[in-house]
Amino acid sequence: MKMPSHIGGLALAAATLLLPALASAETPEFENWNAKFQSTYVWQGKRPFAAAYSGPNSLTTGKEKSYSFTATGALGFRPWPGAEFYFDPEAAQGVPLSNLTGFGGFTNGEIARTSGPNLTVYRARAFLRQTWGLGGATEVLASDFNQLAGAVDKRRLVLTAGNLSVTDLFDDNAYS
């Protein structure tokens, strides 16, 4: 008997949910390395409905279930003073309602990142950040995704190079 493909995603989601229990509640003042994880599982369903028209890009009229699963790891370490290296692997899996694709097919924001019923693992980010302090007062950076805890000069020059998104550097939205 073949196990449904979404069971693997559920097992990975459950394992990811247990990881925060292993993490310390205390925030360190300085880190040489860190590892952060997050995952999202979205389940959707729809009841059957009548339709005056149905085409190849329409929702099917029958009862359906849909899901999406994504998981991200953010791994960082300091290879030398002032430098930070980050590697963020991601995994994605999902099936949209009626196998819809295109602009109108996104029934949840995560489904756009998935690639079908098979789990796909890929490199989302891999980058090096070098910081040179220019003196003056210092500020404390808290441990976070793609950020090691530590004190840095408020006046500093930072060079970031590698595989990353522009919004990783220039997004001031605290909720994204």
Say yes or no to pLDDT of 4 above 70. Answer: no
Identify the pLDDT of residue 103. 61
C-beta separation of 13 from 66 below 8 A: no
Q: Lowest mean pLDDT: which of 16-25, 55-64, 140-149, 164-173?
A: 16-25
Task: Name the pLDDT band for 24 (thresholds 50, 70, 90).
Answer: low
Between 5 and 35, where is the model more confident?
A: 35
Mean pLDDT for all residues in the chain: 86
Distance, in Å, from the CA atom of 73 to the CA atom of 123, rounded to the nearest integer, reads 10
C-beta separation of 125 from 100 below 8 A: no
Helix, strand, coil % in the chain, rounded to nearest 5: 20, 45, 40
- Determine which helix (DSSP H) or strand (DSSP E) holds 43, and give its type and residue range: strand 33-46
Tell me the whole-structure pTM to 2 decimals: 0.76
Identify the pLDDT of residue 7. 60
Length of the chain (residues): 176
> What are the boundaries of each domain within the chain?
6-47+55-170
Say yes or no to pLDDT of 133 above 80. Answer: yes
